[in-house]
Copies of this chain bind each other. A is one copy, B any other.
């Protein structure tokens, strides 16, 4: 079932708001409508997808289609196995060293450009030597140093180098794949996954929670070059073994069926829209609209991140350098215009507009207007 609807009309019909949450977050209306339409009886099977045995033919078809669409939209090479797991990026922070340190190399490099990368770095230290290739914490995670300046370890001792493609809290994004010779590259793509093309072949491992750009929370997507499978540390929990899940096609145990199904509908929708290049175009347009207002505000709005490292999907900003009273007023007035969940992460404060795939251009336009109106009313 595919429903074609006008976004504006349906937003209004359902009394929906524009939700700028950093995740879980807004999803395309068409994706939600399709899931709702099939909620009680999926395409004549007589069951909700939630009720299907994960080993049933019907669910296996749903799963296979989701996986095929994932592989197609990201052009995943045959060398890489794709999996749907649970536990989010946080569980993968442990799975990466548990699966990669069993090879005999028990050292790893970390490019820490935000709070999530720092967590991954700390977790790896439980299982081997974690080395900071770079760390911009002293500069408040405001830029990405060039790879040429990173302190990269001896490849003969180093199992992997880890980077965080987009830092959700700090609004810092890699605009390129770091070119690291001879060390397997591992990427946490949780917050910009499916927002633009990625050269999967340059990565040993990519992992991402689905809940920002391609589905609900509870589904973690993993892509692993098969040559890194089967080298777990002996203490690796079976649930954390990529090989166990690769061999069982993600069904070593009961998967998060409904979350995988919704992700599949989202990926099908992505294909229909033109693939990840469509989302890339949208995200550039949406983020540029907001950054232009910030940069043209004469310091009324400020974003702390160096321009070449600014995130297309998380735009944090302050008002008058952190005027909390004005920021509170900005948020309250935004909400009256149906612009929700715009406060910054509790660790950094301020405002944060997350502009994931599910946020339509109209929501961004309304936010842009609100910013301009607010500035003209409140700038000293």
Residues of A within 8 A of B (CB): 14-17, 19, 21-27, 32-33, 35-36, 39-41, 44-48, 50-56, 86-91, 93-95, 98, 123, 126-127, 209, 211, 216-219, 234-235, 237-240, 252-259, 262, 338, 340-341, 346, 358
Q: Is the CB of B235 within 8 A of A126?
A: yes
Q: Is the CB of B15 within 8 A of A123?
A: no
Q: Is the CB of A254 within 8 A of B40?
A: no
Q: Is the CB of B23 within 8 A of A53?
A: yes
CB distance from A37 to the nearest CB of B (A): 10
| Number of copies of this chain that the complex holds | 2
Partner of A87, one of B21, B27, B44, B91: B91
A240 to B, closest residue via Cβ: B237
Q: Is the CB of B25 within 8 A of A53?
A: yes
A17 to B, closest residue via Cβ: B46
CB distance from A200 to the nearest CB of B (A): 24
Q: Is the CB of B254 within 8 A of A24?
A: yes
Q: Which residues of B contact A56 (CB under 8 A)?
A: 21, 341
Q: Is the CB of B40 within 8 A of A16?
A: yes
CB distance from A379 to the nearest CB of B (A): 30
Q: Is the CB of B53 within 8 A of A237?
A: no
Q: Which residues of B contact A93 (CB under 8 A)?
A: 237-239
Q: Which residues of B contact A89 (CB under 8 A)?
A: 253
Q: Is the CB of B238 within 8 A of A123?
A: yes
A35 to B, closest residue via Cβ: B39
Q: Is the CB of B86 within 8 A of A87?
A: yes
Q: Which residues of B contact A95 (CB under 8 A)?
A: 237
Q: Is the CB of B36 within 8 A of A53?
A: no
Q: Is the CB of A19 within 8 A of B51?
A: yes
Partner of A40, one of B24, B32, B86: B32
Partner of A21, one of B32, B53, B94: B53
Q: Is the CB of A26 within 8 A of B51?
A: yes
In the bound complex, how far is the Cα of B258 from the Cα of A216, in angstroms? 8
In the bound complex, how far is the Cα of B255 from the Cα of A313, in angstroms? 21
Q: Is the CB of B257 within 8 A of A54?
A: no
In the bound complex, how far is the Cα of B342 from the Cα of A53, in angstroms? 11
By Cβ-Cβ distance, the 3 closest A-B pairs, closest first, are: A218-B256, A94-B237, A17-B46
In the bound complex, how far is the Cα of B127 from the Cα of A154, in angstroms? 32
Q: Is the CB of A50 within 8 A of B90?
A: no
Q: Which residues of B contact A219 (CB under 8 A)?
A: 218
Interface centre among A51, A54, A259 (most CB of B within 10 A): A51
